[in-house]
């Protein structure tokens, strides 16, 4: 083993390994911090979206309770007076629709027979029992319910309550429905979330028979889903495809769209019967955290490399400059002395230990020189 | 005393009642309903005005001035129930007027008093179109050719993405009276037309954002900003700016490399090498001046260019320190001996350029991250 080569190599190797490990760990820590922040952001996005939907359900139920609380409404419904009922509720519903986004109001007879669609009074009565589980449940349990359901005209958030006559007998149910689109627009307006609602095409085609072709078309098809509503269609097309939407539980991922990294959260959407009917996509610009994470990685890597270079310099200067090269200046005269050759005075600049060694070699050289002279001068 | 207080209270009440600062909503309520130029209250307040902006052409974008010129369509739509009419009156589905006819019609009805807050001068060309639908929906589209101011952030130059903003705001009607908003239809309307090009920039999507601007006494005013994202073509900037910045780094390296050790002493006079460094300093100052005059925005703030200029100055300072302390005064030799000095010299010949180039590369990589 040659110390002059192996010692710096071992020291440099050790320094490089240690600094690489420290850099890797610190990079991993900062990366995890960014990931943790993003995970919290995803959780918050999910909570906000969920809260908005459940708030809408409560809003629909509250509007239904308000409209149904009138005695005139109750009496007209109990008397099966369709025209009278419509006359009583139409103005109140018009206000709810124009100002508060209520899109549907409907009275049903048990178990789920449509009696009066206030939003479309000319439409004939029909049995809703094959697709309106919430209505069946309300008329069965005689208790208010709320939830999302696909109807013939699309998808709405419903609040449904049982209707009782003046004697407290159950006479049917009443519901009010809220469109989901304006709710998603509010999410964008308030939180800058881009959102899209995708509904299973098969379910939509089976039930939403009067849905407009603007929705049921090839452009809106994402795998087995149809994009029912989105706040920014062009952007959302870059953020998800049909395969991404095949989720059965909440999931998230990062994806670049138009040069900006987005955090994309996918939430399964369930109808009142707890059957998954689609997926809600919520996306937010994550460029701040992504950029901070990338920059932290770059500067940490640079710090690691610069540290290695500086420590290599320290090792080379100390090992070679302070130890090995001065030592070489002592070793060469010692070798010459050992060979019996003449050697000039040994004088070395270096650390104390090397200087001590040089001084002792010099003493040895002087003694050997003196001894040689005596030996040579003896008669 | 109490009589005085009552008088003071009465005076304050009268002053408040006649104050011009009472909210616009109160003033609007006082207007007769038959006046079609009064704010429409049929659906209650606030009246929601939806905004969409389409970029037809972007004539120029100068980041240094934070300005761009564009031909845009500004679409405003709202509901005025007073303007409803039987659908059979409009076989096309709406009543439409364009140009001077539209201006005449617009003068007769209420329209939101929006202003483009980042348009410093009036548009050089405008034309408006008015459509009124049977259900009372009113839509105006104004095509305008104008210059706009937009904030520019060069922190990530040359990998930066800028936003060409058009800020539509209400300055007279508080948000409780008139609100600005947008729907997915407005988002779909808001885009760059096919064929829009800006030299050196890649056109992206248009995004709409709603904000509230604070006014006096808690008043708030609605604002919608339409932002066209544009991404810089980084390759163009590399040739013109980054090659000179990295080339100037060679000067302090040359001053370090040009020396050599012969018999334990430096062969080249420190004075000559110091001259090289001073020459380099003037070169970097000249480069800095050129950049600040050609790209004034780049010379301000923290961005890749200012970081690389800073690196140049630091490299020159290090080169000067090497020349003075190593070549001129031989400090390592005086303190630790000739061998240490030789090792320091050998180390600096490769470590100094390597670290400088790594820092330069990191500045660019951080901007790209």
Q: What are the pLDDT digits (tens) for B225-284? A: 999 999 998 887 777 889 999 999 999 999 999 999 988 889 999 999 999 999 999 999
Residue of A nearest to B189 (CA): A232
At B57-115, the pLDDT tens digits run 998 899 888 999 999 999 999 999 999 999 999 999 999 999 999 999 999 999 999 99
Omega of the bond leading into A355 within 30 degrees of 0 (cis):
no
A299 at the B interface (CB within 8 A)? yes
At A148-189, the pLDDT tens digits run 999 888 899 999 999 998 888 999 999 999 988 889 999 998
pLDDT value for A215 = 86
CB contact under 8 A, A233 and B366: no
Which among A233, A299, A326 is the nearest to B366, CB-wise?
A299
Percent of chain B with pLDDT strictly greater than 90: 70
Is B280 within 8 Å of B253 (Cβ atoms)? no
> Is 80 exceeded by the pLDDT of residue B20?
no
Percent of chain A with pLDDT strictly greater than 90: 64
A193 at the B interface (CB within 8 A)? no
ipTM value, please give it.
0.78
pTM: 0.80
> Is 70 exceeded by the pLDDT of residue B1?
no
Report the distance separating Cα A52 and Cα A46, nearest Å: 10
* Token pair recorded at residue B316: 């020159």
- CA distances to B161, B162, B166, B245 from B364, rounded to whole Å, are 15, 18, 31, 12
**How many Cα atoms occupy the beta-carbon half-sphere of A304 within 13 Å?**
18
Percent of chain B with pLDDT strictly greater than 70: 91
Which among B337, B342, B351 is the nearest to A309, CB-wise?
B351
At B154-194, the pLDDT tens digits run 988 899 999 999 999 998 899 999 999 999 899 999 999 99
Count of A–B CB contacts within 8 Å? 99
* Token pair recorded at residue A130: 């094959």
HEC letters along A125-171: CCECCCCCHHHHHHHHHCCCEEEEEEECCEEEEEEEEEEECCCCCEE
Is A93 within 8 Å of A67 (Cβ atoms)? yes
Segment A315-339 mean pLDDT: 88
* Token pair recorded at residue B67: 């300005």
Q: Pairing state of beta strands A170-179 and B201-214?
A: unpaired
Omega of the bond leading into A111 within 30 degrees of 0 (cis):
yes
* Beta strand segments in B242-324, E: 261-262, 265-266
* Token pair recorded at residue B145: 């050719």
Judging contacts by C-beta atoms under 8 Å, the chain B residues touching residue A317 are 340, 343-344, 347
Report the distance separating Cα A224 and Cα A211, nearest Å: 17
SS3 content of chain A, % helix, strand, coil (to 5): 55, 20, 25
A344 or B135, higher pLDDT: B135
> Is 90 exceeded by the pLDDT of residue B311?
yes
The average confidence (pLDDT) of chain A is 91
Nearest 5°: the CA angle B28, B34, B39 is 30
**CA A222 centroid distance within chain:** 21
CB contact under 8 A, B191 and A294: no
At A255-269, the pLDDT tens digits run 999 889 999 999 999
Segment A281-306 mean pLDDT: 95
């Amino acid at each position: 083993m040659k110390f002059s080569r192996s010692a710096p190599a071992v020291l440099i190797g050790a320094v490089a390994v240690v600094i690489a490990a420290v850099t890797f760990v610190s990079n991993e820590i900062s990366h995890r911090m960014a990931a943790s922040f993003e995970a919290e952001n995803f959780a918050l996005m999910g909570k906000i979206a969920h809260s908005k939907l459940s708030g809408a359900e409560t809003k629909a139920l509250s509007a239904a309770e308000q409209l149904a609380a009138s005695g005139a409404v109750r009496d007209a419904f109990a008397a099966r007076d369709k025209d009278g009922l419509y006359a009583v509720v139409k103005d109140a519903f018009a206000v709810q629709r124009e100002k508060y986004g209520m899109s549907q109001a409907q009275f049903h007879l048990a178990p789920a027979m449509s009696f009066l669609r206030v939003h479309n009074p000319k439409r004939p009565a029909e049995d809703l029992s094959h697709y309106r589980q919430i209505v069946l449940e309300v008329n069965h349990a005689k208790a208010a319910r709320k939830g999302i359901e696909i109807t013939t005209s699309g998808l709405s958030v419903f609040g449904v309550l049982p209707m009782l006559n003046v004697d407290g007998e159950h006479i049917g149910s009443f519901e009010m429905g809220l469109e989901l689109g304006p709710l998603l627009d509010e999410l964008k307006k308030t939180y800058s979330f881009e959102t899209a609602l995708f509904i299973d095409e098969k379910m939509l085609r089976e039930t939403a028979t009067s849905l407009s072709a603007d929705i049921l078309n090839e452009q809106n098809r994402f795998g087995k889903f149809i994009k029912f509503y989105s706040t920014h269609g062009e952007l959302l097309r870059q953020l998800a495809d049909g395969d991404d939407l095949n989720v059965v539980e909440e999931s998230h991922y990062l994806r670049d769209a138009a040069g900006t990294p987005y955090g994309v959260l996918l939430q399964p959407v369930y109808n009142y019967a707890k059957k998954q009917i689609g997926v809600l996509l919520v996306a937010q610009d994550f460029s701040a955290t992504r950029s901070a994470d990338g920059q932290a990685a770059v500067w940490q890597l640079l710090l690691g490399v610069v540290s290695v270079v500086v420590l290599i310099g320290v090792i080379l200067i100390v090992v070679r400059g302070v130890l090995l090269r001065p030592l070489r200046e002592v070793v060469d005269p010692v070798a010459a002395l050992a060979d019996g050759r003449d050697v000039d005075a040994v004088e070395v600049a270096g650390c104390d230990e090397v200087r001590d060694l040089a001084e002792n070699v010099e003493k040895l050289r002087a003694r050997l020189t003196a001894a040689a002279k005596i030996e040579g001068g003896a008669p | 005393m109490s009589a005085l207080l009552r008088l003071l209270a009465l005076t304050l009440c009268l002053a408040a009642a006649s104050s011009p600062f009472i909210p616009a909503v109160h003033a609007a309520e006082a207007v007769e309903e038959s006046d079609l130029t009064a704010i429409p209250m049929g659906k209650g307040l606030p009246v929601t005005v939806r905004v969409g902006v389409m970029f037809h052409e972007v004539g120029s974008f100068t980041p240094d001035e934070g300005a761009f010129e564009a031909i845009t369509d500004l679409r405003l739509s709202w509901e005025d129930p007073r303007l409803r009419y039987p659908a059979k009156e409009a076989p096309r589905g709406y009543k439409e007027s364009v140009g001077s006819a539209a201006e005449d019609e617009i003068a007769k009805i209420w329209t939101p008093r929006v202003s483009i807050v980042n348009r410093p001068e009036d548009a050089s060309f405008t034309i408006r179109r008015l459509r009124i639908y049977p259900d009372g929906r009113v839509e105006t589209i104004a095509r305008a050719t104008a210059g706009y101011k937009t904030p520019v952030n060069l922190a990530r130059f040359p990998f930066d993405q800028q936003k060409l903003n058009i800020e539509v705001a209400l300055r007279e009607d508080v948000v409780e009276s008139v609100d600005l908003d947008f729907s997915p239809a407005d988002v779909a309307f808001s885009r760059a037309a096919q064929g829009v090009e800006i030299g050196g920039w890649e056109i992206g999507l248009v995004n709409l954002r709603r904000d509230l601007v604070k006014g006096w006494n808690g008043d708030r005013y609605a604002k919608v900003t339409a932002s066209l994202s544009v991404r810089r073509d980084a390759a163009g900037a590399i040739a013109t700016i980054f090659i000179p910045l990295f080339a100037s780094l060679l000067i302090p390296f040359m001053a370090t490399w040009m020396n050599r050790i012969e018999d334990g002493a430096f062969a080249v006079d420190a004075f000559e090498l110091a001259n090289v460094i001073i020459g380099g300093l003037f070169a970097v100052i000249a480069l800095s001046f050129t950049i600040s005059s050609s790209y004034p925005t780049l010379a301000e703030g923290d961005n890749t260019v200012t970081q690389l200029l800073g690196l140049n100055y630091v490299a020159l300072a290090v080169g000067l320190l090497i020349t003075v302390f190593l070549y001129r005064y031989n400090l390592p030799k005086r303190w630790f001996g000739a061998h240490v000095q030789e090792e320091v010299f050998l180390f600096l010949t490769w470590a100094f350029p390597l670290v400088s180039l790594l820092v330069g590369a990191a500045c660019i990589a951080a901007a790209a991250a």
